[in-house]
Amino acid sequence: MIYIYKHRYQQPLNNTHLIPLPYVPDSSIYFEAIANDPWSFYLDSGIQNGLDKNISEKSRYDIIVSQPFIKIIADDFSVSIEENNLKKITKGNPFDILEGILSGFDIQETSLPFTGGALGYFSYELGQSTIQNNKDYIGIPLMMVGIYDWALIVDHQDKKAYLASHLVNKDTKDYLTKLSIKIKSVKPNNQSFKINSTIRSLLNFEAYDFIVNKILSFIKEGDVYQINISNKYIVSCEGDSWIGYKKLREINRAPFMAYIHFDDFDILCGSPERFIQSHNSHVETRPIKGTEPRDSNPQKDKENAEKLLASEKNRAENLMIVDLLRNDLSKNCIPGSINVKALCELKSYSNVHHLESIIEGTLKPHSTLIKLLKDSFPGGSITGTPKTRSMEIISDLEPHRRDIYCGSIGYIGFNHHMDTNIAIRTIIRKDNKLHFYSGGGIVAQSNAKNEFEEIAFKASNIQKWINFFKKD
């Protein structure tokens, strides 16, 4: 049953109100104006200069928001809805509650990706039937989603920028006028950021080897075909997370990055992976499975890429996840519309080569974006096959909750557009500690030593970033 929430601004959304802004190749300059405002979000394509040749459909837009007029916060037991300084506590599935709130708005199609709607994060544990609290746990909500009625959009393809809104909230027009003035005279941030401890990992090789052998036993018994297992790392820090993020986006450029600032914690995400996008009923997911490290020697780097493309093990991992995601999308897509557009294509990033596939379909007329997200959540590339049994084994074997890691960050707009990532290469900063993770898929051919090395080089950009800020 969908929860219906009545809010005071319920009305049809008609024309989009636009305030043009000067185009800037590095949109972090605009986010600087609101970086310390609670519930400020920066969905970052990784584009940083006007000569960048990596602009594509995946990296065309940057989206900046703050000051939601509704806040939805889900913990393990209830969901809080805040509006106009009033708070309502309810119970139910957080996805269904979000669906009920968004259903109160009439949708007006726009060409821009997001001009208002829901934007936030969805923790991995939202996909579990039971959550274990006896694990290493950061202590943050399962879901935090704001309903925003404006966005700052930077379009790197057309080289344009806008403040865009449907003006749902009666105070928004005045706010946007003031913001447009503020961002034109923003002053540089003179704060600092430092790392002041060594990195502690929850799993050493012996503990990881034990888990891998347990998984191999499950695979041999026919329980599962593949399981994604992760390690967690913790390091102490001090200073302004936004300063840290600006360096991270230099070191770890990727098309689905994000920076999120809340009252008591921050998220720094360097994800290269799309989870689900939907636009005009067209649905797309881009799972990543298969990894080899980059090398500074061009010949060795080319050999690593060719090795990945020729690897039967990595290809098998990718194919299993493609089949899983075809099944997940089929719950909400028109029968016969699901198509594998690309299979095991090579994608190269600053520290790794990956294999990426593309699965697409057409949304059923009576389905919804949030139901599509809920029924596919969490992403198959970070669980295993079959998904439900894999998640049960992960819950039993991993000593930590994943929280935002392997969950998703993204938006569901009033305009019926959605785009979400898989929150890998993601750092959570809370109480002057940084929590980050790295994982990989275990299949029958896996070797614990090789897999342990793989998760280390997946996290190498974060390690490089930490070393940059390490206090002498």
Enumerate the active-site residues. 273, 289
Residue 367 neighbours by CB under 8 Å, 6+ apart:
332, 333
Specify which residues 354 forms β-bridges with.
Answer: 291, 347
Specify which residues 232 forms β-bridges with.
Answer: 437
The amino acid at residue 179 is L
Q: Among residues 1, 90, 95, 77, which one has the least CA distance to residue 375?
A: 95
**Quick one: three-class SS letters along 93-110?**
CHHHHHHHHHCCCCCCCC
Specify which residues 266 forms β-bridges with.
Answer: 261, 429
User: Which structure tokens are listed for 18?
Assistant: 């636009």
